[in-house]
Structure 1
């Protein structure tokens, strides 16, 4: 069993899967950067800028998000790019959840600040 899997098992103990997935504001913002840029390939600098997160945090989170299958790495020679894994059910559901959430928020109040 890998250390990442052991870490994930420990995170899930008593907390559930959704709190683990969205365990920090930084991770939630990184996920949001991917779902709002669904078809784009993003490098670490792009992700950091779009999520207002440090590059070191992006690197930490990318390891876990790729292991979960939500994000996939696209090798472009000397540089790595990342994209929302559109073939992954969880990645697709996160994309749909974001759209549904925005739709509902607009239904509730046209003046909701997002």
Structure 2
């Protein structure tokens, strides 16, 4: 079971993510949190929207910029649907993932 699935079906993964806690309840950190939740799995826009808790339209509004920035790549299409994945080879995307994990550890320490 992926980390994203452990959040349950009732609440999108990004609603309770560290990125939204730090950067606010905005579409951009929600979409990035969704992509970071399954870094080895490319996803279509519908799946990203489900994990992010935003509309497909909102995902489409931001994906091109994330691709341009190199944070996200579009490696293939499946049945005419573009698939997206966080670019684990990109330095900024790697630092974003490291930041997320570092903040998860910090929050856990504060709760102890």
TM over 0.5: yes
CA distance in 2, matches of 1:107, 1:23: 21
User: Is there any run of 5+ residues in structure 1 with no aligned partner, and where?
Assistant: 1-21
Aligned to 2:44: 43
The count of aligned residue pairs is 89
CA distance in 2, matches of 1:74, 1:24: 28
- 1:103 maps onto 2:105 in alignment: yes
Distance change (3 Å), C-alpha of 1:67 and 1:24: farther
- 1:57 maps onto 2:58 in alignment: yes
Aligned to 1:66: 67
Normalised to the residue count of structure 1, the TM-score between the two structures is 0.73
Normalised to the residue count of structure 2, the TM-score between the two structures is 0.74
Q: Which has the larger radius of gyration?
A: 1
Cα distance per residue 1:15-53 (max 9 Å; x no partner): xxxxxxx68711110000111111110100000000000
Return structure 1 stretches of 4+ with deviation > 2 angstroms: none
Aligned to 1:13: none
CA distance in 2, matches of 1:79, 1:30: 18
